[in-house]
Structure 1
């Protein structure tokens, strides 16, 4: 598998440009077209139902087959065509067989064990053994489940830990990233309060240095080391990719340091799952949770997942229990005493929605088939993926790596994101020349970011007051709807059919995904941004 080199990528682009010395050399539609046509993953796009431009703009004069430019897969991935097919099958089984569908299913996916087929694929995507992964619930529910399991400060000896005593009366501090996604902070506050503790005394926020947007790894390690020396550190919980800045943390390095400090490691992988390669087993991560409706296209509020390292299978620790986590062989005999399934499956609480599973399965299989089509070697390597023999073989391995799918998606996403960065800059559409101060707050190093660039409108923050709807029951889409940033977003959406998103108060996020985005999409989106800024500056 080839790795990404920014230098090699720039050389490739210069070889496709008539005049590599031109001042705005990347502002070239022919270049975008050439890159799009040579994309080995390009055929995957046709397997998704992308929003239509006429539906986004409201302009019914636009041809029905003209697609919107969709850069919000980091918020909600598009529908895979295969998912629609699988959902129809589930509805048909429900209609024809009713409750019998739990054990007899015309398409071979009985509901009583349906989560197995998607858990195998999810394990592949996160670099884990099948026994370490469960597909269940939603992200924040899974965060609560993991925190309530692994943070036990009022238990005299803490939880039975392979690392020692974690979460004892002295070991109470939890390290987290400042400006984490709000739900993460709410969950952390909750676990403190439920244990009778003051979050302000327990939680240790990691803040960037003054004038910087991203966290430096050495600063994270310094905090971990200090808590290890004092004996106060219980756990660190980080996002794999920071939702606001797009920073990809150096997870392996951080996890190693945390374990050396006798701290547990938990991850919120909402923006990392199927975005970047992960090696949860090899890195020794204690637990992780993710949602699947972003890069994995599991649908609005779709089913989520969690990871529990196999080392914890040797320690039958208390956890929130439910009947779906009970031993599958005796689950339907309704015993009074909980007998957890081995591995992560023992943390399942309720039976999953068959519709949610069908959507996720269609998405996984769409990506796998798209990667197979890129080369005969990939087709051979993935021929048995998810099978019983493949799953059993992976269970025996000591090292799993990052799987066979994500490195291929990652290479394309790094190229797309680098191309987006070039087009936003002085050698592309040069947006700063449009009279607005912009700052890329996502790390410039391709290895330290995922498929997302976050652009801060520096002259926008002072104007960005939260927009109120007048009722707490109504949801305001725009925060500060009269700001330059909100006006830009509305213009490109309603006039050009470009979908991006805003994070309060002044950040525009754009995410080109390897699964369906093209270089031509990136070009036209940047062209639309430049046009919108020009329109607003002329008013």
Structure 2
């Protein structure tokens, strides 16, 4: 497609957009009395209007039924999380038995590492990426220390090459091969939060398995954003938050994936009654009998009020489907990249796009590395109704989300950016 940085062209793209109607299904903040251009769905997605209906339903059942809401009402609470299995499995490329929702992301990664990080005298090292999201760095370090090991000699970070912003797949594969039979676990972010780079999860998972290691993924920026095939890729485990591209609300519940090959294994885990055989859960038996599936990693009963907006959002994903979302994602992200390039050429802007240009290596994010402008450009954009994300030392992240970003938003942003750079 031959893009044009004009208002008429942007409107034309919106008229052709089969997802355009969904923008009206979200609530937008306002700045100076006008709805904002919202580019921070990679941090916190906008509120779907349907979310309130789902929360109100739980509140009504609680008011009318009290404790009986567990087993009665429109959506009984005792099996509330089971409603996610089918639609979430389509989003992440899994079988329904391989996914569930519980806790929050870092909690779930810690719980999953109880099962999948089992260091031995020979096989004990963990591979992660350089400058992973801080929470991942912290939890990996403390998991290592919890086993009496030294992070400095146990954690192997894949480095970017000097002068480059993104990881090379061949460097990751080479690192896995070089650690070899000392490698216990590969745990990386499927999409790098800083640059928006999409890693080759299939190739990396295969390489980790070839040397005998488990492979898990933090999918915080991937779930609801890219097409995945976790089951077919033989990924051992994964976890993701629901409040970014999946629009479930601040701090909402996390999803997990555990491949079916582990469902009947004797992997250790931290246990609780909600992971116990659900047909016998209320018999209060003393011995733990885990559910044969991802639900067997549950500990506590589900946080229903937290799950309610997530369920509403998942219903929207199920209605639209990942293929349609990804088709628009690719076009609108490409249009944003084009507009940025066009504006830069007009005003000789001193910024660099550090997100990969290849469509297979990027999703709904463009990261701008600023040379000279500093944080004042971020402040200017925020004050003029463009909600963006700042990452130290000098990166602005822009996330056009297919559900609620229009092509006219992209054009209008370009005009605001141009005025701030002149």
Q: Normalising by structure 1, what TM-score? A: 0.77
Q: Provide the C-alpha distance between the structure 2 equivalents of 1:366 and 1:505, rounded to a whole number of angstroms.
A: 36
Pairing 1:301–2:268 present: no
Q: Provide the C-alpha distance between the structure 1 equivalents of 2:335 and 2:346, rounded to a whole number of angstroms.
A: 19
Summarize the alignment of residues 191-210 of structure 1 with structure 2, pairs less than 5 Å apart: 191-210=143-162
Pairing 1:50–2:23 present: no
* Corresponding position of 1:423: 339
Q: Residues 313-348 of structure 1: CA distance to partner in whole angstroms, max 9, x if unpaired?
A: 131221011111111111122221111111110000
Match of 1:112 among 78, 87, 105: 78
Structure 1: stretches of 5+ with no match in the other structure: 1-8, 14-25, 154-167, 372-404, 460-483, 535-539
| Contact 2:23–2:405 (CA under 8 A) maintained in structure 1 | yes
Structure 2: stretches of 5+ with no match in the other structure: none
Higher mean C-alpha displacement, 484-493 vs 318-327: 484-493
Q: Residues 252-288 of structure 1: CA distance to partner in whole angstroms, max 9, x if unpaired?
A: 1111111111111000000000000010000000000
Deviation at 1:436, TM superposition (A): 4.4
Q: Residues 480-537 of structure 1: CA distance to partner in whole angstroms, max 9, x if unpaired?
A: xxxx43222222222x211000111110000001111110011111211111222xxx
| Contact 1:441–1:455 (CA under 8 A) maintained in structure 2 | yes
Q: Provide the C-alpha distance between the structure 1 equivalents of 2:182 and 2:126, rounded to a whole number of angstroms.
A: 9
Q: Provide the C-alpha distance between the structure 2 equivalents of 1:314 and 1:340, rounded to a whole number of angstroms.
A: 9
Quick one: higher RCO (CA 8 Å, sep 6+), 1 or 2?
2
SS at match of 1:281: coil
SS at match of 1:339: coil
| Contact 2:102–2:303 (CA under 8 A) maintained in structure 1 | no
Summarize the alignment of residues 182-261 of structure 1 with structure 2, pairs less than 5 Å apart: 182-228=134-180, 231-261=181-211
* Corresponding position of 1:312: 262
* Corresponding position of 1:392: none
Give structure 1 regions of 4+ aligned residues with deviation exceeding 4 angstroms.
Answer: none
Aligned residues: CA RMSD: 1.2
| Contact 1:292–1:303 (CA under 8 A) maintained in structure 2 | yes
Q: Residues 166-201 of structure 1: CA distance to partner in whole angstroms, max 9, x if unpaired?
A: xx2111111100011000000100110100001111
Deviation at 1:435, TM superposition (A): 5.4
Deviation at 1:49, TM superposition (A): 1.4
Q: Residues 146-174 of structure 1: CA distance to partner in whole angstroms, max 9, x if unpaired?
A: 11211112xxxxxxxxxxxxxx2111111
Deviation at 1:119, TM superposition (A): 2.6
| Contact 1:175–1:235 (CA under 8 A) maintained in structure 2 | yes
Name the structure where strand makes up a greater proportion of residues.
2
SS at match of 2:327: helix
The structure with the largest alpha-carbon Rg is 1
Q: Provide the C-alpha distance between the structure 2 equivalents of 1:141 and 1:173, rounded to a whole number of angstroms.
A: 21
* Corresponding position of 1:491: 380
Q: Provide the C-alpha distance between the structure 1 equivalents of 2:418 and 2:287, rounded to a whole number of angstroms.
A: 64
Q: Normalising by structure 2, what TM-score? A: 0.98
| Contact 2:343–2:349 (CA under 8 A) maintained in structure 1 | no
* Corresponding position of 1:35: 13
Deviation at 1:433, TM superposition (A): 5.3
